[in-house]
């Protein structure tokens, strides 16, 4: 690091030999002897475990190897033979570990025993499980529940999540932020308003029935590679794919299937995108308005000339509300404005619209490129407007497809992890468990950290995650974290959030889902929901990393029992011993989704939850799907307009990381090696800022709140990226993201559009 590196564009398609090599490398790095083991073969299989990486759907009829490069890396990371034992902390003080790189902390290996921070020696020291539970219970009981937060990073199972939300409410609060607060909460809000459900409406079957797919701001090759299989099959049927992304991401350009011998041995590969449009950062509402304008204009002409109509008038008439206002807005919007904001030409947008009007069934896949913006919710609503023009919701082969991140992030919400009381079945819980749940709105992630900065959070219990790295404004939020009195981290591996400790801090080592979970009631299974709303059972297959690690349900039950004492009607010990009792409780709370849960959880391909929008039933205020007029064409200009030379920064992930978990420093697909401290920049912008390739620069946030936010030591990498746009990595650039810079209606931090100025090091 630090040394100047040249970038080489990755010369191959995604997948392929590079992918196999990357898998072999990480298996060796983690010293995992998979040749004697069947672990990867049981990944994402009906009788095996559900991958701990992304949440993409698991097919009923899986491939022999139903895993991808990312999933294999995630498995290797968890099944590593490296261990953190208490002698690790005899060698390293917490202060010393604070100087370690994120990669090195996790690379130390799996956590093996419960630990408590000892301020006198500045070390973590072993503690028994019961002592830890009792002390945490005492601490929580001495606090105002409204000042305590339980965070869930999206891996926890349906069973664990349900137990945690019930515990929180019996304890007395709704402070249940989860990782979707930084991720697809713009989807949960936007889709709910527009079509009455907060999740995507497509299933894997729809890939076989679609005529056209769009990708907006989702990087499939890196972040959900198993999805490349159905995409490849669709391409073989001749289905076009149109992509809008500021970067030409290799995974969206072409793919060679590392599991197809024929494709590996011949240079043939599947072209993924048939049209690729490099939209400017934050230009998607403008693109979508342009697409709608092209369709409505062509339909106006068809109507005038007596030709067949292009709008699905029957759908619009019967199923939607607000079309006339929306159409008026679209007709009035000028092409010049659309072109300026999107950075694309009218001809480009019309070319995409032309494909759209030829297709009978259209899917739109999207990700963080739409949701992590000030206008993130509006982007999602606009995508629905566009789909609705031709009835592309609630019919086979069509619909919105938010590609979720963490493997059970969608499911956690389904079973009650939410800070919004109206989204939890509080009356039902009250009756089922004979208690009075709190009705006051809880805190999401941004609100938690706003309160924390003011000293208003006294305790946090984290079911996974690494919040000091994943949240915005690191130089404000990290010091605030260390002022929290009680910090409990349930985790598989060591990370920085464990080291920036409070007065009373615990690290509680948990099993990974890949491991066999033995309880008094026998070997236990858990369940989760994938990105397409299907529920799957998951059974561990490897020996636990340590005899002193415990399952997440065990840990949640232990803390709940020690805190609630005789204030709870739940037999936490019984739930801990036999998770089918938890599933029975889930089924009682949500019978329409989880009836016959125990039997159905092993259905190959999962069992789908009912989704009214799939049947064209709209649970919105008007009872119809809503056309919603956007409030502006572009991303919030923030302070950018006032400053010549201002740039918009997006924060990206690589194939060598899973969020804050950094497997190594390379970005194989984008051709960057050995460092993550880079800025990707257009050559014309480099010239106008007088910057050279490899030059060291500082980025500084443009804001008027008096706080100097900067990241130094970044190197310039010339890159094919639209003018005025730059890219850096998450989490390295998180100090630049102000806590108040979030999507207006969902409070998702706007990590894809941070206004910054750039300066050479000497400046
Ligand atoms: N290997 C790996 N897999 C992962 C993860 C990981 O870190 N590593 N993380 C998991 C999680 S939690 C999540 S949420 C998902 C995230 O997966 P994605 O949703 O794919 O998220 P990102 O990689 O952050 O960004 C996606 C794309 O958005 C584009 N983009 C940025 N700004 C804009 C814009 O204004 N408009 C448009 N149209 N595009 C834009 C970027 O160029 C990038 O290609 O992946 C999950 N899977
Ligand atoms: N600037 C910027 N910021 C972002 C993003 C961005 O694109 N740009 N993306 C956002 C998104 S989409 C997300 S989802 C968040 C993620 O934010 P977080 O949820 O905070 O972070 P992760 O990196 O997913 O959590 C990693 C840690 O989880 C623990 N862990 C791993 N597996 C398990 C398990 O099975 N059980 C338990 N209990 N612990 C486990 C390990 O200790 C590991 O160190 O970050 C967000 N932050
Ligand atoms: Mo995410």
Instruction: Indicate whether 275 and 313 sit together in one domain.
Output: yes
Give the closest ligand to the alpha carbon of residue 53.
1
pLDDT the model gives residue 713: 97
Dist. CA 750–CA 369, nearest whole Å = 10
Instruction: Indicate whether 145 and 213 sit together in one domain.
Output: no
209 touches 397 (CB < 8 A): yes
Q: Residue 49, SS3? A: strand
In this structure, the strands spanning 696-701 and 754-760 are antiparallel
The residues, any chain, with a CB within 8 Å of residue 349's CB and separated by 6 or more, are: 277, 287, 290, 291, 294, 338, 342
Question: Whose C-alpha lies nearest to ligand 2, atom 12?
Answer: 183
Query: Domain boundary residue among 347, 370, 402?
Result: 402
Nearest CA-CA partner of 80 in 494, 437, 603, 693 = 494
pLDDT at 4 over 50: no
Dist. CA 422–CA 350, nearest whole Å = 42
Residue that the structure tokens 């100097």 belong to = 708
CA of 655, closest atom in ligand 1: 1
pLDDT the model gives residue 271: 87
The answer to whether position 49 is within a domain reads: no
pLDDT per residue over 135-187, tens digit each? 999 999 999 999 999 999 999 999 999 999 999 999 999 999 999 999 999 99
pLDDT per residue over 357-416, tens digit each? 999 999 999 999 999 999 999 999 999 999 999 999 999 999 999 999 999 999 999 999
Is residue 495 lining ligand 2, measured as CB closer than 6 Å? yes
State the Rg of the chain over Cα.
25
pLDDT at 7 over 50: no
Q: How confident is the model at residue 474 (pLDDT cuts 50, 70, 90)?
A: very high
pLDDT the model gives residue 12: 44
Is residue 406 lining ligand 2, measured as CB closer than 6 Å? yes
> What CATH code is carried by the domain that includes residue 164?
3.40.50.740
Burial class (CB in 10 A: 0-12, 13-18, 19+), 423: middle
Q: How confident is the model at residue 263 (pLDDT cuts 50, 70, 90)?
A: low
Query: Percentages helix, strand, coil for the chain, rounded to the nearest 5?
Result: 40, 20, 40
Instruction: Indicate whether 217 and 361 sit together in one domain.
Output: yes
The answer to whether position 30 is within a domain reads: no
Instruction: Indicate whether 149 and 209 sit together in one domain.
Output: no
Dist. CA 377–CA 381, nearest whole Å = 6
pLDDT at 37 over 60: no
Dist. CA 333–CA 354, nearest whole Å = 19
Which neighbouring-strand residues pair with 110? 83, 493
Give the closest ligand to the alpha carbon of residue 749.
2
Ligand 2 centroid distance, CA of 221 (Å): 19
What's the start-to-end Cα distance of the chain, in Å?
22
Give φ, ψ of 522 to 5 degrees: 100, -175
pLDDT at 761 over 90: no
Ligand 1 centroid distance, CA of 634 (Å): 20
Query: Domain boundary residue among 346, 378, 402?
Result: 402
Ligand 3 centroid distance, CA of 639 (Å): 27
The answer to whether position 248 is within a domain reads: yes
The answer to whether position 75 is within a domain reads: no
pLDDT at 36 over 50: no
Ligand 1, CB within 6 Å, residue ranges? 54, 70, 183, 216-219, 222-224, 244-247, 249, 279, 281-282, 284, 367-369, 403, 405-406, 650, 652-653, 655, 657-659, 752
The answer to whether position 545 is within a domain reads: yes
pLDDT the model gives residue 493: 97
Mutation choice for ligand 1 from 152, 219, 636, 743, CB with most ligand atoms inside 8 A: 219
Question: Whose C-alpha lies nearest to ligand 2, atom 10?
Answer: 182
Q: How confident is the model at residue 10 (pLDDT cuts 50, 70, 90)?
A: very low
pLDDT the model gives residue 15: 66
pLDDT at 1 over 50: no
Question: Whose C-alpha lies nearest to ligand 2, atom 27?
Answer: 465
Helix axes 376-389, 284-305, angle to 10 degrees: 20
The answer to whether position 612 is within a domain reads: no
Instruction: Indicate whether 456 and 535 sit together in one domain.
Output: yes
Q: How confident is the model at residue 6 (pLDDT cuts 50, 70, 90)?
A: very low
124-131 mean pLDDT: 98
Give the 3-state secondary structure of 362-390: EEEEECHHHHCCCCHHHHHHHHHHHHHHC
Mean pLDDT, the chain, integer: 93
Give φ, ψ of 733 to 5 degrees: -90, 5
Instruction: Indicate whether 153 and 197 sit together in one domain.
Output: no
pLDDT per residue over 552-566, tens digit each? 999 999 999 999 999
pLDDT at 11 over 50: no
Dist. CA 628–CA 347, nearest whole Å = 25
Is residue 489 lining ligand 2, measured as CB closer than 6 Å? no
41 touches 24 (CB < 8 A): no
Q: In Å, what is the CA distance from 218 to each residue of 138, 346, 659? A: 45, 23, 15
Question: Whose C-alpha lies nearest to ligand 2, atom 29?
Answer: 464
* Selected residue with higher pLDDT from 268 and 454: 454
> What CATH code is carried by the domain that includes residue 245?
3.40.228.10
Dist. CA 301–CA 48, nearest whole Å = 56
pTM for this prediction: 0.95
Q: Is the dihedral of CA 105, 108, 109, 111 positive or negative?
A: negative
* Residue 67, both tokens: 């895993």
Q: Which of 52-66, 652-666, 713-727 has the lowest mean pLDDT?
A: 52-66
Instruction: Indicate whether 468 and 567 sit together in one domain.
Output: yes
Instruction: Give the count of domains, the chain.
Output: 3
* Residue 507, both tokens: 């690290």
Instruction: Indicate whether 363 and 269 sit together in one domain.
Output: yes
738-757 mean pLDDT: 97
Instruction: Indicate whether 417 and 510 sit together in one domain.
Output: yes
Q: How confident is the model at residue 638 (pLDDT cuts 50, 70, 90)?
A: confident
* Residue 575, both tokens: 């739930």
The answer to whether position 509 is within a domain reads: yes
Q: How many CA atoms lie within 13 A of 174 on its CB side?
A: 20
Mutation choice for ligand 1 from 18, 245, 291, CB with most ligand atoms inside 8 A: 245
Give the 3-state secondary structure of 115-160: EEEECCCCEEEECCHHHHHHHHHHHHHCCCHHHEEEEECCCCCHHH
Sheet holding 14-15, edge to edge: 14-15, 254-256, 270-271
Query: Domain boundary residue among 350, 370, 402?
Result: 402
Ligand 2 centroid distance, CA of 572 (Å): 28
Q: How confident is the model at residue 660 (pLDDT cuts 50, 70, 90)?
A: very high
Dist. CA 526–CA 528, nearest whole Å = 7
DSSP-assigned letter for residue 2 = -
Is residue 80 lining ligand 2, measured as CB closer than 6 Å? no
Q: Residue 627, SS3? A: coil
Dist. CA 760–CA 311, nearest whole Å = 52
The answer to whether position 484 is within a domain reads: yes
Mutation choice for ligand 1 from 68, 220, 367, CB with most ligand atoms inside 8 A: 367
Instruction: Indicate whether 557 and 578 sit together in one domain.
Output: yes
Instruction: Indicate whether 422 and 512 sit together in one domain.
Output: yes
pLDDT the model gives residue 310: 98
Nearest CA-CA partner of 528 in 41, 178, 50 = 50
Give the closest ligand to the alpha carbon of residue 464.
2
494 touches 84 (CB < 8 A): yes
Which CB contacts under 8 angstroms, 24+ apart, belong to 116-121? 116/504, 116/505, 116/506, 117/501, 117/504, 117/505, 117/506, 119/503, 121/93
**Enclosing domain of residue 273:** 185-402
Give φ, ψ of 193 to 5 degrees: -65, -40
Instruction: Indicate whether 387 and 440 sit together in one domain.
Output: no
CA of 218, closest atom in ligand 1: 20
pLDDT the model gives residue 640: 81
Mutation choice for ligand 2 from 187, 511, 660, CB with most ligand atoms inside 8 A: 660
Ligand 3 centroid distance, CA of 209 (Å): 28
Q: How many CA atoms lie within 13 A of 144 on its CB side?
A: 5
87-110 mean pLDDT: 96
Give the closest ligand to the alpha carbon of residue 227.
1
> What CATH code is carried by the domain that includes residue 748?
2.40.40.20
Residues for the chain: how many in total?
A: 763
Residue that the structure tokens 């629905």 belong to = 384
């Amino acid at each position: 690091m630090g040394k100047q590196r040249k970038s080489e564009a990755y010369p191959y398609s995604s997948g392929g030999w590079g992918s196999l090599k990357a898998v072999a490398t990480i298996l060796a790095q983690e010293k995992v002897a998979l040749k004697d083991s069947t672990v990867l073969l049981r990944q994402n299989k009906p009788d095996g475990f559900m991958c701990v990486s992304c949440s993409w759907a698991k097919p009923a009829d899986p491939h022999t190897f139903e895993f991808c490069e990312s999933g294999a890396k995630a498995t290797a990371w968890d099944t590593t033979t490296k261990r953190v034992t208490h002698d690790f902390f005899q060698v390293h003080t917490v202060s010393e570990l604070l100087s370690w790189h994120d990669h090195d902390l996790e690379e130390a290996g799996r956590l093996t025993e419960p630990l408590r921070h000892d301020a006198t020696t500045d070390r973590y020291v072993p503690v028994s499980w019961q002592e830890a539970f009792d002390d945490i219970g005492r601490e929580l009981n001495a606090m105002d529940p409204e000042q305590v937060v339980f965070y869930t990073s999206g891996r926890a199972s349906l069973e664990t999540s349900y137990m945690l939300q019930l515990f929180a409410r019996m304890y007395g609060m709704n402070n249940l932020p989860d990782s979707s607060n930084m991720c697809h909460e713009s989807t949960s809000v936007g889709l709910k308003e527009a079509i009455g459900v907060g999740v995507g409406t497509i299933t894997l079957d729809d890939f076989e029935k679609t005529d056209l797919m769009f990708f907006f701001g989702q990087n499939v090759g890196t972040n959900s590679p198993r999805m490349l299989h159905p995409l490849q099959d669709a391409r073989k049927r001749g289905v076009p794919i149109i992509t809008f992304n500021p970067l030409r991401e290799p995974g969206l350009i072409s793919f060679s299937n590392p599991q197809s011998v024929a494709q590996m041995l011949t240079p043939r590969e599947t072209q993924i995108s048939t049209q690729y449009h490099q939209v400017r950062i934050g230009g998607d509402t403008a693109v979508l308005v342009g697409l709608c304008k092209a369709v409505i204009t062509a339909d106006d002409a068809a109507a005038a000339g007596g030709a067949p109509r292009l709008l699905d008038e029957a759908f619009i008439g019967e199923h939607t509300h607000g079309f006339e206002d929306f159409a008026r807005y679209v007709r009035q919007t000028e092409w010049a404005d659309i072109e300026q904001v999107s950075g694309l030409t009218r001809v480009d947008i019309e070319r995409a619209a032309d494909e759209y009007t030829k297709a009978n069934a259209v899917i739109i896949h999207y990700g963080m490129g739409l949701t992590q913006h000030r206008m993130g919710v509006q982007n999602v609503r606009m995508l629905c407007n566009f789909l609705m023009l031709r009835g592309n919701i609630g019919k086979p082969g069509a619909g919105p497809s938010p590609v979720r991140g963490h493997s059970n992030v969608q499911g956690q919400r389904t079973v009650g992890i939410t800070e919004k009381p109206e989204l939890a079945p509080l009356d039902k819980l009250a009756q089922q468990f004979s208690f009075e749940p709190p009705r006051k709105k809880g805190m999401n992630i941004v609100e938690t950290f706003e309160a924390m900065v003011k000293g208003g959070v006294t305790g946090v219990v984290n079911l996974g995650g690494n919040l000091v790295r994943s949240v915005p404004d690191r130089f404000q939020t990290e010091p605030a974290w260390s002022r929290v009195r009680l910090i409990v981290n349930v985790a598989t591996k060591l990370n920085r959030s464990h080291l920036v400790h409070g007065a009373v801090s615990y690290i509680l080592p948990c099993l990974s889902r890949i491991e066999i979970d033995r309880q008094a009631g026998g070997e236990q299974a858990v369940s989760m929901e994938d990105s397409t709303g299907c529920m799957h059972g998951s059974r561990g297959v490897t020996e636990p990393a340590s005899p002193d690690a415990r399952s997440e349900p065990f840990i949640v039950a232990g803390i709940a029992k020690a805190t609630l004492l005789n204030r709870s009607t739940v037999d936490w010990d019984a739930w801990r011993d036999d998770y089918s009792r938890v599933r029975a409780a889930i089924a009682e709370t949500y019978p329409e989704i989880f009836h016959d849960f125990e039997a159905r959880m092993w259905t190959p391909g999962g069992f789908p939850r009912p989704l009214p929008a799939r049947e064209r039933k709209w649970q919105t205020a008007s009872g119809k799907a809503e056309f919603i007029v956007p409030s502006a064409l572009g991303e919030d200009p923030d302070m950018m307009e006032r400053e010549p030379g201002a740039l918009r920064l997006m924060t990206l992930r690589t194939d060598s990381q899973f969020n804050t978990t950094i497997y190594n420093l390379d970005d194989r697909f984008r051709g960057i090696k050995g460092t993550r401290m880079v800025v990707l920049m257009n050559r014309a912008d480099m010239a106008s800022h007088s910057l050279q390739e490899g030059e060291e620069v500082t980025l500084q946030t443009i804001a008027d709140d008096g706080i100097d936010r900067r990241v130094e030591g970044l190197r310039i990498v010339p890159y094919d990226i639209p003018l005025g746009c730059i890219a850096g990595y998450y989490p390295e650039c998180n100090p630049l993201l102000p806590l108040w810079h979030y999507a207006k209606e969902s409070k998702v931090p706007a990590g894809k559009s941070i206004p910054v100025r750039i300066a050479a090091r000497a400046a």
